[in-house]
Chain A
Amino acid sequence: MIHTHRLNEAEYTQNFADIHPPFETHEGASIEANRCLFCYDAPCTKSCPTSIDVPKFIKQIATENIKGAAKTIFDSNIMGAGCSRVCPVEKLCEGACVYNLLHESPIAIARLQRYATAPALENNWQFYSSPSEKSKKVAVVGAGPAGLACAHALAQKGVAVSIFEKEPKGGGLMTYGVAGYKVTPEFCEEEVQWILGVGGIDIQYGVELGKDVQLADLQAQYDAVFLAIGVGVARPLQIEGEALDGVVNAISFIYDIRTKDLAAIPVGDAVAVIGMGMTAIDAATQAKRLGAKKVTMIYRRTENEKPCTDAELDLARLDGCEIIWLAAPHHINGQDGKVTEIVCSEMVLGEPDASGRRSPVDTGHTFTLPVDMVIKATGQLPYRNLLSEVGVQFSNETHDSGSTNLKGVFAGGDCVNGGKEVVDAVQAGKVAAASICDYLFG
């Protein structure tokens, strides 16, 4: 049965506590920082989408130049504080650390980055400023990582930036779409405020593109527009029973966790999570941490093809989530309008698909799992209608520079790349800001 208040307050607190506790003392950070070899043209830096100079900031921690370390990080990634908590570092910087080649633990880059950046937010170290004279105006739609990174860069160049955000808070999926044990909504709010501390950025919440504000109006009122509207429409399963009570999508499930009291989030006794991406993991682990008795993750391919990282999968396993590989949802059965079981097709791997991964093929056999809740985490679809209605089209150029088919209209982040990491969105925002500056100032 799906219901709320499964745990007591202490249990909720414990289950949603920080999964990667920070270094609490300088000694701890110092020992780790001093392990760093200070590589030249470092693989960690080259594996960071924002190219943070990792050896440099780690060396700065070792010399107790924490302010310098923080600035090194923010110079490349203005959301360096948040990224230190949510980045899948095992496939980025830490995955490339040369210590891996010695079969030694990689440098704890994320923890060190958190150590350097946390005091910047706590003490409001503002390394950047916006000139008081503003010569141009730019509208940014969406206050997620891409929008904020773009706005922050533009503000420094003397651009008056207006951000329009449909949610009541900034941060985008960082605020609304990440597991609570990685980063709290409170932290996200602090980070947004710190980023806005550069000055020159006006932000309006509760304003949605196509509803409260139109692209044509923005084009008319501003010198340029940056679209960073993200993705948000959950991909439907398109199977029988999807409309039953108890079938929810992971995005809204996590959105509720981020915005409501944990005790008020309904969760079932037996939960099936469809998908094996980062969002699927976040949904499965949090369902378990909200008190679901049994959580089963269902994925149509094998562990080799999974989109999440090994570290994320380990997290789900450690939380007691069960995993069924080579299974695809076939239909959902219900009683009195409520989910009672999910029937899955057994799959085998066939030929590689466009992504190079072997694609699943239905064997025709099925099996049935008794569940009272199904969480769909099979990806999100971009707001195609919203964009196509106003004539915006993306191309390879949009991926590379942020420019679109419309003059003065730029785009970046999840809405262009289809949904990647926070750090990718930050980089897209940076790149777009540079393109916008080229456009505005020639």
Chain B
Amino acid sequence: MANLRNTYLGISSPNPFWLASAPPTDKYHNVRRALDAGWGGVVWKTLGSQVKNVSSRYSSVDYNGHRMMGFNNIELISDRPLDLNLKEIAQIVREYPDRAMIVSLMADNNRTAWHELIKKTEDTGAHGIELNFGCPHGMIERGMGAVVGQDPEIAKMVVEWVMEAATIPVITKLTPNVHSVVPTAKAVVAGGTNGLSLINTIQSITGVDLDTFVPNPFVGGQSVYGGYCGPAVKPIALKMLTTLGKNPATNHVPISGIGGISTWRDAVEFMLLGAANVQICTAAMRYGFRIIDDLCSGLSNWMDEKGFATTDEFVGLSIPKITDWEKLDLNFHIVADINQDKCIHCGLCYITCEDTSHQAINLEQGKPYNTYTIKEEECVGCNLCKLVCPVEDCITMVEQRKGDEYLNWIAYQERGLPLNDH
């Protein structure tokens, strides 16, 4: 049976699932419940200067009747007294010695403040520090959070201050509110950070109340941009994660993956694209800490099935599969095939192909069930029909190569082969 024990920057935890720095990790009560439930570790909610929070704080995006496809918050860093947080962190470290305790920090923007905060944090016995360079709201106005993460020079400077004082591993958390995470990542790696984590939340407005006309979340008739997270952001996070794995300046730095991870499948995807472990928040805020059971059991079963004994054996395996568009094989060609035994005649493949793609599906009228078949000569192999089909394995894409050899766009141009063949 697979061993889920995970070591990240030398910090060991019984599984690769940490709770991300967020409301679920802001006090003893929650963290104890999380660790009792079985979480591998926590990143304690960001400590820093004293702040005051507003009411309300969260809003979300529902999709086709499902709650919280995306989630948004305007909460600031911890609003509890620093000393109380430190005391509780120390207590957790004592009571749960086998779990990872990382503390998220966001000090005032000067060297002394950072050094003092690091000293106090290390006194708790915590195993690591995560630098919050990513918070997209509230702290920006004070010259902290995403403002630091958006400017590689400032980020590097702060990391250098931190590394002067820190004796435990330092993870720098990156903001996605940039055109690319690579410049800041490179800068903080040059500044000496031990690890990287990403992504923090994405600036957002989740929606507008159609009665009051006030965007969400509602705070006394006004609102502000919030930080977006949850399942909706996962694809964006995966792409940003992969860009670090593809870049020679950052691909050797252990990454803690964050961004919309809700299930063990999501976690495996992050790890295949280079995350050494993962952090989760929204899924826990949606259902409570009990989700850890399936995260562990699903991961373990998948590892057994694939023959992986430890969690580091598959980290980054999918990175080489991402290439440049011009290197894709133009001779690779697939066409859709509809299994008539499985077809339930919903017509979704037909109408999407007919209206929005390549008119490659034939409709034969029936009462009440029409018959749909593929016009292979018209099919470009785009996948759309397969994606909209509600029946698993009803539409499959069958390989029909255009030629035997691997032929990419560069070679295609060099040979002057014809365009617009469809």
Contacts and interface: CB of A to CB of B under 8 A. Distances in A.
Interface string A5-47: 0000000000000000000000000110110011111111011
B391 interface: yes
A33 B65 contact: yes
B351 A43 contact: no
Contact of A43 (B348, B350, B363, B369): B369
A39 B363 contact: no
B64 A101 contact: no
Given A40-B351, A43-B368, A46-B368, A34 B65 contact: yes
B348 A96 contact: no
A99 B345 CA distance: 10
Given A37-B390, A41-B370, A46-B368, A102 B346 contact: no
A373 B169 CA distance: 90
A41 B368 CA distance: 9
If over half of B's interface residues share one DSSP class (helix, strand or loop), that class is named, otherwise mixed; here it is loop
A39 B346 contact: yes
B344 interface: yes
B348 A101 contact: no
B65 A37 contact: no
A37 B368 CA distance: 16
Interface in B309-353: 344-348, 350-351
Q: Which of A34, A40, A42, A98 has the most CB of B within 10 A?
A: A40
Contacts of A39: 345-348
Given A30-B65, A62-B64, A102-B391, A37 B367 contact: no
A40 B347 contact: yes
Interface in B51-102: 64-66
Contacts of A30: 65
Contacts of B66: 34
A41 B344 contact: no
A96 B65 contact: no
A46 B365 CA distance: 11
Contacts of B344: 98-99, 101-102
Nearest to B66: A34
B65 A40 contact: no
A420 to B, nearest CB: 18
Contacts of A41: 347, 350-351, 363, 370
A157 B110 CA distance: 79
A101 B345 CA distance: 9
Given A40-B348, A40-B350, A46 B367 contact: yes
A38 B363 contact: no
Given A33-B65, A40-B350, A62-B65, A47 B345 contact: no
Contacts of B351: 40-41
A62 B62 CA distance: 12
Q: Which of B348, B350, B363, B368 has the most CB of A within 10 A?
A: B368
Contacts of A101: 344-345
A31 B65 contact: yes
Contacts of B363: 41
Interface string B370-392: 10000000000000000000110
A96 B347 CA distance: 14
Interface in B390-421: 390-391
A159 to B, nearest CB: 33
A98 B66 CA distance: 22
A98 B347 CA distance: 10
Nearest to B351: A40
Interface string B357-371: 000000100011110
A374 B64 CA distance: 53
Interface in A40-89: 40-44, 46-47, 62
A284 B344 CA distance: 37
B69 to A, nearest CB: 13
A218 B370 CA distance: 46
B405 to A, nearest CB: 40
A33 B369 CA distance: 21
Contacts of A96: 368-369
B179 to A, nearest CB: 35
A39 B66 CA distance: 20
B388 to A, nearest CB: 9
Interface string A160-175: 0000000000000000
Contact of A37 (B346, B350, B369, B370): B346
Interface string A75-116: 000000000000000000000101101100000000000000
A41 B350 CA distance: 10
A41 B390 CA distance: 16
Contacts of A33: 65
A42 B367 CA distance: 10
Contacts of A98: 344-346
Nearest to A46: B368
Contacts of B370: 41
A42 B391 CA distance: 16
A140 B54 CA distance: 66
Contacts of B345: 39, 43, 98, 101
A38 B348 contact: yes
Nearest to B369: A43
Nearest to B347: A40
B77 to A, nearest CB: 35
B115 to A, nearest CB: 53
A30 B347 CA distance: 23
A306 to B, nearest CB: 22
A101 B344 CA distance: 6
Contacts of A62: 64-65
B64 A34 contact: yes
B24 to A, nearest CB: 26
Nearest to A104: B344
B243 to A, nearest CB: 35
Contact of A42 (B64, B347, B390): B347
A238 B367 CA distance: 40
A30 to B, nearest CB: 5
Contacts of A34: 64-66
B354 to A, nearest CB: 9
A41, A46, A47 pick with most chain B CB within 10 angstroms? A41
Contacts of A102: 344, 391
21 contacts: A30-B65, A33-B65, A34-B65, A37-B346, A37-B348, A39-B347, A40-B347, A40-B348, A40-B351, A41-B347, A41-B350, A41-B351, A42-B346, A43-B368, A43-B369, A96-B368, A96-B369, A98-B346, A99-B344, A101-B344, A102-B391
Q: Which 3 A-B pairs have the closest CB atoms?
A: A40-B347, A34-B65, A43-B368
Given A34-B66, A42-B346, A42-B347, 15 more contacts: A34-B64, A37-B346, A37-B390, A38-B348, A40-B346, A40-B348, A40-B350, A40-B351, A41-B350, A46-B368, A98-B344, A98-B345, A98-B346, A101-B345, A102-B391
